């Protein structure tokens, strides 16, 4: 049996999405900037995908800018808004548990003279909102907080943060821009940026059965942001370069399918997650680092006494694929998880943490099989480790 539990890293592309992209590449392959029918047909896919996504987010189509994925969207949001608003101040706030595509961009901006404040999280991986509120200064120009943590699945109080920023902006001459990384949240939560007072919002297509190399950035109308890619002026001048029409068509269809029968899909995922978490506790000395009130698809657990990489490869030998952390930081195997560290986990808990991440394709049988393998191997691995 083959079981894929690394869906927070990437998902299997939906077959209908593959078929649509194949049609675009072989049939409607024109440049969308061209004036002839091939170009017009290609441009139609961009409009259709923008329409689909704008209806999901309840925003305007022109507020959707297609990108190559979440990393580019986060880079554009932070760098573009920081440079556009640097006359108003140089202070930026993020959390201590942001994805590297936010955290490393913040470090880059720090090298340009911006000042970065990082807000801590509690033992559940949720941001300290009072600390955030107290960190805001007169020269604060940007706040960037993820909606869902990619390692433990904690859901941040984005609506509350949005309200705080909105209230402050009503009395400020220099407005604070609010960016939210929704890469693990889109297709798992209902997200309405206008109602949540979000100015910039990042999404990546391959997290919800769309293609790799697809994503978008929601840019609220009139938000001050500069391009970081210059050229022929595509994307309304915000992102030059010929659009990746197959990927844009793909992410549009993937988004549409993700939000069809949405409540049914999410309720099923929540049921599977709860069942899996309860079953993991049948094993001695397992600590759940994720909470049941977190996002529906991420479970992080520490198997005390076993190195995470040892357990990961044992599961792999049995056809089960999991993660020992964020896929985007796995090239640095010796580095400990910032999220788990900031949640206060011990070294032993950090070293033994495994992330299981589900998708709409996950079945109860896959969970039961995984539990069989875990129960057959965990005690043996602990004895081996002690030797």
**Enzyme catalytic residues:** 328
Here the tokens at position 38 are 């091939």
Bridge partners, residue 201, by sequence:
180, 218
Closest-CA residue to 329 (of 93, 9, 3): 9
The dihedral over CA atoms of 359, 205, 183, 77, expressed in degrees to the nearest 10, equals 180
Bridge partners, residue 67, by sequence:
215
As a whole number of angstroms, the distance between CA 35 and CA 22 comes to: 23
Task: Measure CA 366 to chain center.
Answer: 24
Helix (H, G, I), strand (E, B) or coil at 309: helix
Burial track 241-267 (b if 16+ CB lie within 10 A, e otherwise): eebbbbbbbbbbbbbbbbbeeeeebbe
E strands, the chain, are: 3-4, 64-67, 91-95, 115-119, 140-146, 177-181, 200-204, 215-219, 286-288, 298-303, 320-321, 353-357
As a whole number of angstroms, the distance between CA 262 and CA 1 comes to: 28
């Amino acid at each position: 049996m083959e079981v894929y539990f690394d869906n927070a890293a990437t998902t299997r592309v939906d077959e209908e999405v593959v078929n649509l992209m194949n049609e675009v590449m072989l049939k409607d392959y024109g440049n969308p900037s061209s004036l002839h029918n091939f170009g017009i047909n290609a441009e139609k896919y961009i409009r259709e995908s923008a329409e689909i996504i704008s209806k999901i987010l309840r925003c305007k189509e022109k507020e959707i800018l297609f990108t190559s994925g979440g990393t580019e969207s986060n880079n554009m949001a932070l760098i573009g808004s920081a440079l556009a608003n640097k006359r108003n101040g140089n202070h930026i706030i993020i959390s201590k548990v942001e994805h590297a595509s936010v955290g490393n961009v913040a470090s880059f901006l720090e090298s340009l003279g911006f000042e970065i404040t990082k807000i801590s999280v509690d033992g559940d991986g949720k941001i300290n909102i009072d600390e955030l509120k107290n960190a805001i200064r007169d020269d604060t120009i940007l706040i960037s907080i993820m909606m869902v943590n990619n390692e433990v699945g904690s859901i941040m109080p984005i609506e509350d943060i949005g309200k705080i920023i909105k209230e402050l902006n009503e009395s400020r001459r220099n407005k604070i821009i609010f960016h939210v990384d929704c890469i693990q949240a889109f297709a798992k939560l209902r997200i309405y940026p206008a109602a949540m007072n979000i100015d910039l919002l990042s999404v990546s297509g391959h997290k919800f059965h769309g293609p790799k190399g697809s994503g978008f950035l929601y840019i609220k109308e009139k938000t001050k942001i500069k391009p970081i890619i210059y050229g022929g002026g595509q994307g309304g001048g915000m992102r030059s370069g010929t659009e990746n029409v197959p990927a844009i068509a793909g992410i549009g269809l993937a988004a549409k399918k993700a939000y069809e029968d949405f409540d049914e899909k999410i309720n099923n995922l929540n049921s599977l997650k709860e069942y899996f978490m309860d079953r993991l506790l049948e094993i001695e000395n397992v600590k759940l680092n994720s909470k049941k009130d977190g996002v529906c698809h991420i479970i992080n657990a520490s198997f005390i006494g076993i190195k995470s990489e040892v357990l990961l490869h044992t599961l792999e030998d049995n056809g089960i694929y999991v993660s020992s952390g964020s896929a985007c930081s796995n090239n640095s195997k010796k580095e400990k998880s910032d999220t788990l560290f900031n949640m206060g986990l011990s070294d032993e808990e950090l070293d033994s943490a495994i992330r299981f991440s589900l998708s709409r394709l996950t079945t109860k049988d896959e969970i039961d099989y995984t539990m069989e393998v875990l129960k057959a191997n965990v005690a043996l691995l602990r004895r081996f480790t002690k030797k």
